[in-house]
């Protein structure tokens, strides 16, 4: 089944599933707004393939976030940071786990922002009965953190913490 046949020939953004998100769909302009590049990192903004190909199709307040980034770069004080996380439920990550980290790495590289990564192992305990203590739990967390570090985030601008 193709996406178009599933949605009766309409765009996936017009589906009932996305109706509440339509107002947040990227308009092309906000994702292509060019923030001043981080000094020493890039000489110009290159739109990531996630925006260019429409893989990331929805956002909330991306324009406001870019304004905060501009202010941060102009004043030298951090008024913005990146945040993402992972709830370890297996020792390895699949492509669905990787896409947010790839996008976050791109944004950290392009904008030079600090990054906070939260490991939500307690959430997995409550909703999936995965232990939060013991060797198995520690092993899951350590392996997932190794996978996250392998994306190449800047160590001096990255803070990873575990809920438990």
CATH classification of the domain holding 113: 3.40.50.620
Name the domain count of the chain. 1
Mean pLDDT of 129-135: 73
Query: How confident is the model at residue 89, as a pLDDT?
Result: 81
pLDDT higher than 90, residue 31: no
Model-wide pTM > 0.85: no
CA distances from 21 to 6, 8, 10, 14, 49 (A): 19, 19, 16, 10, 21
Return the higher-pLDDT residue of 42 and 101. Answer: 101
Q: Which domain holds residue 14?
A: 3-162
Q: How far from the centroid of its chain's Cα atoms is residue 144's Cα?
A: 16
- Say how far apart CA 67 and CA 79 lie, in whole Å: 10
Query: How confident is the model at residue 6, as a pLDDT?
Result: 38
**Paired tokens of 155:** 């160590």
Mean pLDDT over each residue of the chain, to the nearest integer: 74
Say which range, 47-51, 88-92, 104-108, 114-118, has the weakest mean pLDDT: 47-51
Mean pLDDT of 70-86: 85
Q: Among 153, 58, 54, which residue's Cα sits nearest to residue 101?
A: 153
- Say how far apart CA 116 and CA 154 lie, in whole Å: 11
Mean pLDDT of 99-124: 88
- Say how far apart CA 112 and CA 81 lie, in whole Å: 9
Query: How confident is the model at residue 52, as a pLDDT?
Result: 74
Mean pLDDT of 115-123: 88
Query: How confident is the model at residue 121, as a pLDDT?
Result: 80
- Residue 152 pLDDT class (50, 70, 90 cuts): very high
């Amino acid at each position: 089944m193709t996406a178009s046949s599933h949605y009766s020939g309409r765009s996936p953004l017009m589906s009932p599933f996305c109706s509440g998100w339509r107002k947040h769909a990227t308009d092309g302009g906000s994702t292509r707004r060019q923030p001043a590049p981080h000094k020493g990192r890039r000489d110009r903004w290159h739109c990531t393939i996630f925006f260019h190909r429409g893989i990331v199709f929805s956002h909330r307040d991306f324009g406001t976030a870019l304004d905060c980034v501009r202010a941060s770069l102009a004043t030298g004080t951090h008024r913005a940071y990146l945040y993402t996380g992972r709830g370890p439920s297996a020792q390895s990550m699949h492509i669905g786990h990787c896409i947010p980290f790839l996008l976050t790495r791109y944004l950290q590289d392009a904008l030079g922002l600090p990054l906070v990564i939260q490991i939500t192992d307690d959430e997995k305990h409550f909703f999936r009965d995965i232990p939060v203590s013991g060797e198995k739990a520690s092993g899951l967390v350590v392996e997932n953190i190794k996978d996250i570090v392998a994306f190449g985030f800047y160590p001096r601008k990255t803070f990873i913490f575990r809920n438990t």
